[in-house]
Structure 1
Amino acid sequence: MYYKKGEASKVYCSLCPHYCSISENKAGKCRVRKNIEGTLYTLNYGKITSYAYDPIEKKPLYHFYPGSNIFSIGSFGCNLACEFCQNWEIVNKETLTMEIEDQDMLTLSTAKHSIGIAYTYNEPTIWFEYVRHLLDVIKDKNLKNILITNGYINEEPLRQLLPYIDAMNIDLKSINDSFYNNICKGSLEPVLKTIEISSKVTHIEVTTLVIDGENSSLEEIDSLSQKIASINKSIPLHLSRYFPAYKMKRQPTNFNTLMEARNIARKHLDYVYIGNVWGVDNNTYCPNCYTKIVDRYNGGKVLGVERGKCIKCGYKINIIY
């Protein structure tokens, strides 16, 4: 889907903002959409490299059915090339894969108290055709579809997915285009557009991996959180700690950097959390009166909300439970 044929057996992919021009027997930047005799084929349809049952908070989604489990699946391929990729071994090449029949997928997606499927690990938007197929299968059984994505997708295919998506976590890797250009081999604006469009249709949360010396300045965190707030200040932001991975060998993010970043972001956003750090208070509190809403040290128990509002002060809480 989402390509046009050109002259001399070339094809032009329009799934993501790279708009790859692909010669015969070559693949696009995602490495999974290949021109075979003038037709664009997806190489990862139905091919699964990884799966697991995860707490919903691991995605991370803190405001979507707290305390529940989700069946996570992923394939191979990605349309960005982040130097710090945590999943580079499965993203960069086709490894051992499996195929799971739809009925078995349904069985797996309800086992261990799972509420549905999270499409994750590699970039699910370039797994487009198979994800689109499974979205229908899962939705028909009133299960939940969750997309964990870099947000690097064009508007038309995004809008085709959104009616079937119950929640998304979108990576916002930086608020500076130069970071996307140099470190991720992409661009910022399409990701901001994905956040804005998606926030009007489904539940979204945003994650930023904070890397000292790259995207960690307080000025940048201030700009990033202001930008999210301009879309909707109730969008939860997860500031995650970086650890060395793939091509990037910088030291892990300083804990004080994360705490300062959280304090800055909280000036603009209702909900800011720190990820990849043990022992930090990541309970959810009412932004207005600080009543505890979700106790994450007690199985994600929802305590202080009724009919979507804080039970103490009536402040509207952005949470689905």
Structure 2
Amino acid sequence: MRLSKLFRVADSEKKVIECLACPRRCRIPEGSHGFCGVRWNFGGRLYLAVYGLAIAVAIDPIEKKPLYHYNPGSAVLSIATTGCTWACKYCQNWDISQRRMVAGWRLDPELVVKLAEAYGAHGVTYTYNEPVVFIDYAYDIGILARKRGLFNTMVTNGYMSDETLDLVKQFVNAATVDIKGNGDDEFLQKFSAVPRGHFEYVLQAMVEMKRSGIFVEVTDLVVPRYGDDLEKCRKLMRWIVENLGPETPVHFLRFHPDYKMIDVPPTPVETLEKHARVAKEEGIHYVYIGNVPGHELENTYCPNCGELVIRRFGFEILEWRLDEQFRCPKCGYRINIGGKLYPTYRSDRFAYVPLELYTEFVHIPESKLRELAERSQH
């Protein structure tokens, strides 16, 4: 539990506050929480109830995020809390993101960074649920991690306020912006509970992150029947080329039935390939297909001559053919890579972190939250 700075008083008499973390700007009555379920109003002040409570922690390859072009071959400590700014009916992490409860392993920022160091991680990634809901916690971890020589990345839906963006720019090095259904307004409203017209905030956030020096990769979850329109894909790809640049990596992700959409089949590979062709036609240099292990579009090809320069299978790099300046061995074109290649790319970068050895798991009932909020002020 920690007091958040991201709020303003909306009604001092009734102690109603407005949360500033995301563009919903929830007006939260005293004793209640916002849409995410983890940002609470007690006494006319906003508290992040899951501060210091990680619901999931693991060591992952950075390619799992997916970040193919930032510090390839590195390992990251992935961390999440409960809660989310969206309510995707197809969410594969719904048991984490859609829990409107305060629970997790007690992990203060210092312990998070120590675990990252102890398990050989090169960076910390805020992922599995939406990092915007726990931005106060992520910020404190991130600033400490940077001081200790670790990089920071996030997997985000990009739905963040200017106030949150100001924090993100202070500690995040790279971000995967996870778009769904080509960013179509109707799709997002129906299947993710995103207010109509609010995808514009995601676009603005991507531009601002890119402008501030954050390395950006984009994913697009292609959902059969509902979010697989090629013309909408073309519109999004054109926007990316014009606003983020053709060197921005784009990943088309295969949908798998889950949560409230188990009746929808997996995305046909042919549909993903059609999306990839559209992206290339619009000028995207690095186009990938995700969640299809062994597909040729897991690999990186030189956009100048077409030479295969990085061969992958799943999250693993099988072959690296670039020089130290990331140049194509055939034509010398410099591939857009941020950071460096880590020698651990040939090793297994998954690791289980036995948190029970370091801390305890707690589930805090709503009846106890006010008491914790009052205690956190002292």
TM-score surpassing 0.5?
Answer: yes
Aligned to 1:230: 242
1:166-315 to 2 correspondences below 5 Å: 166-173=173-180, 174-186=182-194, 187-200=198-211, 201-231=213-243, 232-249=245-262, 250-267=264-281, 268-281=283-296, 282-297=298-313, 299=317, 301-315=319-333
What is the CA deviation profile of residues 24-46 of structure 1, one whole-angstrom value per residue up to 9, with x for unaligned ones?
11111111111112111111111
The answer to whether the 8 Å contact 1:69/1:112 transfers is no
The answer to whether the 8 Å contact 2:49/2:102 transfers is no
2:133 maps to a residue whose letter is I
Contiguous gaps of at least 5 residues in structure 1: none
Question: Offset at 1:156?
Answer: 2.8
Task: Name the CA distance, whole Å, in 2 between partners of 1:59 and 1:142.
Answer: 20
Question: Offset at 1:263?
Answer: 1.3
Query: Displaced runs of 4+ in structure 1, greater than 6 A?
Result: none
Question: Offset at 1:243?
Answer: 0.8
1:316 maps to a residue whose letter is R
The answer to whether the 8 Å contact 1:25/1:36 transfers is yes
Aligned to 1:3: 7
1:68 maps onto 2:86 in alignment: no
1:149 maps onto 2:153 in alignment: no
The change in CA–CA distance for 1:36 and 1:95 in structure 2 (over 3 A counts) is closer
Q: Which structure is richer in relative contact order (CA contacts within 8 A, separation 6 or more)?
A: 2
1:182 maps to a residue whose letter is K
Task: Name the CA distance, whole Å, in 2 between partners of 1:25 and 1:273.
Answer: 46
Contiguous gaps of at least 5 residues in structure 2: 341-378
* TM-align CA RMSD: 1.7
Question: Offset at 1:113?
Answer: 3.4
Question: Offset at 1:75?
Answer: 0.5
What is the CA deviation profile of residues 273-303 of structure 1, one whole-angstrom value per residue up to 9, with x for unaligned ones?
1111121021111101122322325735532
The answer to whether the 8 Å contact 2:6/2:46 transfers is no
1:33-112 to 2 correspondences below 5 Å: 33-93=39-99, 94=101, 96-112=103-119
Question: Offset at 1:119?
Answer: 0.5
Task: Name the CA distance, whole Å, in 2 between partners of 1:314 and 1:36.
Answer: 59
TM-score by length of 1: 0.95
What is the CA deviation profile of residues 140-179 of structure 1, one whole-angstrom value per residue up to 9, with x for unaligned ones?
0111101111111012321222131111101122232122
Task: Name the CA distance, whole Å, in 1 between partners of 2:31 and 2:333.
Answer: 57
The change in CA–CA distance for 1:104 and 1:36 in structure 2 (over 3 A counts) is closer
The answer to whether the 8 Å contact 1:270/1:287 transfers is yes
SS at match of 2:334: coil
Task: Name the CA distance, whole Å, in 1 between partners of 2:307 and 2:118.
Answer: 34
SS at match of 1:130: helix
The answer to whether the 8 Å contact 2:6/2:163 transfers is no
Task: Name the CA distance, whole Å, in 2 between partners of 1:14 and 1:147.
Answer: 19
SS at match of 2:105: coil
The change in CA–CA distance for 1:22 and 1:178 in structure 2 (over 3 A counts) is same
Could you say which structure has the larger radius of gyration? 2
The change in CA–CA distance for 1:51 and 1:300 in structure 2 (over 3 A counts) is farther
Question: Offset at 1:96?
Answer: 4.7
Task: Name the CA distance, whole Å, in 1 between partners of 2:205 and 2:300.
Answer: 25
SS at match of 1:71: strand
1:150 maps to a residue whose letter is N
Question: Offset at 1:315?
Answer: 2.5
The answer to whether the 8 Å contact 1:305/1:317 transfers is no
